[in-house]
Amino acid sequence: MKNTVKLIATLTILAFTLGACSNDEKREYITKGWSPKTFFNQAKDYAKSGSTDDAIELYEQLQAAYPSSKYALQAKLEVAYELYKNNEYDSAILRLNDYIKLYPQHFSTPYAYYFRGVISEDKSRSFLDGYLTDNAQRDIDSVRDAFNYYLALIGKFPDSEYSEEAKTRLVILRNILARHELFVSIYYTKRGANIAAINRAKYIISNFPNTPSVPAALHLMAHNYDIVSMQKLSKDTRRVLKNSYPTYQPHYTLN
């Protein structure tokens, strides 16, 4: 009986030793003998030279080899940034979502919130914006996402330096969202869907007050009231427009 117990103990120790060796060999294979800092710096060099895929691969290896190091933590954000540079916007946002879930209170988490907004904004941009196109005329789901990401940042980390910048971005995004609703209202007007056009104009006034689109929304609303023979509402709307925006001149056409 004693011999049996001794044999079992020996086999257990041997199995543990072999397992440890296997883990050590696996770790050595992943690390290449590199320290976390070496991994990180090499990945950074790849990123600077434009070798995005190589940089991401090293960041991933760093996380696998040294998951508890500060460099592994930063590597998660670096991977998101490299994906963003590579125009893989959705993948980058997914990485940031995972980061926020894993480290909800880390000092770098406000940056992850902010970066989600930046990425979502860029999804809706075109290099022709400001010259020939307006991102408010395209699908603006990503603009709404950016708006909500910035709101989440401000709500969660109101004293963060990133929250201050987010507040500035919110003003710009509100203007884009309001302008989008105005384009929709103009479209409905051209199609003869006058009640739908009025409702869109009302939505602008109610949800995006103090944006540059409000006077145009009032003007467009009065125009549609005229068409559907709601003269009193048309007159009231024009009075509000004149009192609030006495110098307004229409900048849109319905041709």
What does residue 133 show for φ and ψ, rounded to 5 degrees? Answer: -125, 170
Q: What is the pLDDT of residue 30?
A: 58
Query: Cβ atoms within 10 A of the Cβ of 32, count?
Result: 12
CA–CA distance from 140 to each of 42, 99, 134 (Å)? Answer: 38, 25, 11
Q: Taken in order 96, 102, 104, 106, is the CA torsion positive or negative?
A: negative
Q: What is the pLDDT of residues 144-181, one digit of tens each?
A: 999 999 999 999 999 999 999 999 999 999 999 999 99
Q: Is the pLDDT of residue 3 over 60?
A: no
Which residue, chain included where needed, has tokens 């760093």?
62
Model confidence, pTM: 0.78
pLDDT tens digit string along 208-222?
Answer: 999 999 999 999 999
